[in-house]
Amino acid sequence: MSWQRSTVAPDGSHHIVDGASLYDLRFDGVLPFRDPGLAPVHRDDLAWHVRVDGSPAYTRRFIRTFGFYEGHAAAQSVEGWHHIRPDGTDLYAERYAWCGNFQGGLCAVRERGGHYLHVQADGSPAYSSRWRYAGDFRDGHVVVQADDGRSTHIDRDGTLPHGRWFLDLDVFHKGFARARDAIGWMHVDKSGAPAYARRFSQVEPFYNGQARVEQGDGRRIVIDERGETVVELRPALFDLVPLPTDRPVAILVRHAERPPLPRDLSGHDVSITDEGQRAARRFGDVLGARVASITTSPVRRCRETAIAIAAGVAVNNLEPRLDRLLGDPGAFVVDGERAWENWLRLGNAAVIEHVVTSDEPLPGMAAPREAARRLLRLLHERLGEGTGIHIFVTHDTVLAPFVSRALAISHVLWPDFLAAAVLWRDDTGTRLWFDGRERTVAFGVGSAPQPDQG
């Protein structure tokens, strides 16, 4: 019978093809056959490789053996880890604390001193550097971790193709790699640059141009390679969100899904989508009768979101109120026409990054720290109105700078549609939760601390 069609038997003791045993022998454990038609087996604390008929491929025995890759198999002997040929002879004389599998002519190994590197088939190092960790090569690149815990990619000769470092990193897959910085998970391109501005609590590799990701509130969505939401797979899980029941809670939420805005236009009259309507209703239904008030930006997509949330709450006389601090123009804008020139000149991302990282106002815009304080005062008013949930519907251009500054994060935390920041008061001051992060707000209002930088 052909080993290519074989599988490991359910009890792990031998190999089968179409349910029939390849041989009569039984082992304590076996691994699948690999080219050149040999399989790792072990019995009575000894390990070796067998042919398709179960006979030993060689007379030598090891502590552990693994599958053949590119004609070489990793094996552990009393002297250490190394690689062997199909006839059981050593591929090289060196012994290591651990060995991986050969991929593209190189293999990751760990030296007895604890550092990783890659070796060639003759056992010689592929480069001079050593790493705290090194993985397998894929498409000419591999992830390595330095002693300080940061990770980057290296080429086959050990050079750094982009020189960018991350808290965690994956190999490239179809042109992108999963990466994590201080803000969260994302995808980066071959230059190491983020493919988009958003960050997530989890991301999967791209599959035909799309990837499943998860946010800190449990929301699961599918994004494209620009970071745009394609479809929502699961709404926010409010059991992941700290919602105190013994005191009032303010929820500052971005409006529901809308279509792309017209180019170079603010899109004040753009409506939310049908899916946005359904998602906003679910949002209200989850929060239920605890919702005591809804306040919204006057802009159409926010008003429609507020009305849909109210319909989901299903409480009589829950009429949304309008407040221009939430939009049109919003807390961070003083003169709408002058401020719009910033968006046309710099683009949305650059404008919001400036608002997050600088206390100097752009033309037509408010001083960022004071604008954030004004918005917080609005939320504070409702936190003094007894128990219940008070919802405020706004835009990403308001929510993003507010939560980024409140959480004292120097990068923009971009919110998805219906992403929500939760605020409440306790003995430490005003607490804010957003996308899995929580702290006392970092700019001073009421009992909250007042640091020198915001």
pLDDT digits (tens, 9 = 90+) for 323-371: 999 999 999 999 999 999 999 999 888 999 999 999 899 999 999 999 9
Q: How confident is the model at residue 424 (pLDDT cuts 50, 70, 90)?
A: very high
pLDDT digits (tens, 9 = 90+) for 264-319: 666 788 999 998 899 899 899 988 889 999 999 999 999 999 999 999 998 777 89
Mean pLDDT, all residues of the chain: 91
For position 362, what pLDDT does the model report?
Answer: 95
196 and 284 together in one domain: no
Q: Span 26-49, mean pLDDT?
A: 97
Query: Is 236 contained in some domain?
Result: no
Q: How confident is the model at residue 240 (pLDDT cuts 50, 70, 90)?
A: low
Q: How far is CA 61 from the centre of its chain?
A: 44
Query: Is 232 contained in some domain?
Result: no
Query: Is 25 contained in some domain?
Result: yes
Q: Span 60-78, mean pLDDT?
A: 97
DSSP 278-327: HHHHHHHHHHGGGEEEEEE-SSHHHHHHHHHHHHHHT-TT-PPEE-GGGS
pLDDT at 381 over 60: yes
Q: Span 427-450, mean pLDDT?
A: 71
Query: Is 252 contained in some domain?
Result: yes
CA dihedral 33, 35, 36, 41 (to 10 degrees): -30
**Coil, strand or helix: which one is 35?**
coil
Q: Which of 58-62, 174-178, 182-186 has the lowest mean pLDDT?
A: 182-186
Q: Span 253-258, mean pLDDT?
A: 92
What is the DSSP-derived secondary structure letter of residue 361?
P
Of the three residues 161, 193, 224, the one that is the final residue of a domain is 224
pLDDT digits (tens, 9 = 90+) for 177-215: 999 997 789 999 999 999 998 888 899 999 999 999 998
Q: Span 18-29, mean pLDDT?
A: 95
The residue range of the domain holding 377 is 241-440
Q: How far is CA 181 from the centre of its chain?
A: 9
Tokens encoding 273? 């989508």
Rounded Cα gap, residues 11 and 300, in angstroms = 63
pLDDT at 444 over 60: no
300 and 411 together in one domain: yes
Q: How confident is the model at residue 454 (pLDDT cuts 50, 70, 90)?
A: very low
CA atoms within 13 A on the CB side of 259: 8
Q: Span 230-250, mean pLDDT?
A: 82
158 and 119 together in one domain: yes
pTM of the model: 0.70
Query: Is 229 contained in some domain?
Result: no
258 and 399 together in one domain: yes
Query: Is 231 contained in some domain?
Result: no
Q: Which amino acid is at 446?
A: G
Query: Is 361 contained in some domain?
Result: yes
217 and 256 together in one domain: no
Phi-psi region at 48: left, alpha or beta (left = phi > 0; alpha = psi -120 to 50) = beta
What is the DSSP-derived secondary structure letter of residue 225?
T
Rounded Cα gap, residues 317 and 329, in angstroms = 27
192 and 332 together in one domain: no
**Which is higher by pLDDT, 54 or 182?**
54
Q: Span 103-131, mean pLDDT?
A: 95
Please state the domain count of the chain.
2
pLDDT at 261 over 90: no
pLDDT digits (tens, 9 = 90+) for 147-168: 999 999 999 999 999 999 999 9
For position 443, what pLDDT does the model report?
Answer: 61
258 and 193 together in one domain: no
Residue 448: phi, psi to the nearest 5? -75, 150
192 and 303 together in one domain: no
Could you tell me how many helices (H) and strands (E) the chain has, helices first? 6, 29
For position 402, what pLDDT does the model report?
Answer: 95
The CATH number covering residue 401 comes to 3.40.50.1240
For position 266, what pLDDT does the model report?
Answer: 66
Which H or E element spans position 201?
none
12 and 155 together in one domain: yes
215 and 253 together in one domain: no
For position 239, what pLDDT does the model report?
Answer: 65
76 and 168 together in one domain: yes
pLDDT at 140 over 80: yes
Rounded Cα gap, residues 47 and 41, in angstroms = 6
For position 188, what pLDDT does the model report?
Answer: 97
320 and 403 together in one domain: yes
pLDDT at 452 over 50: no
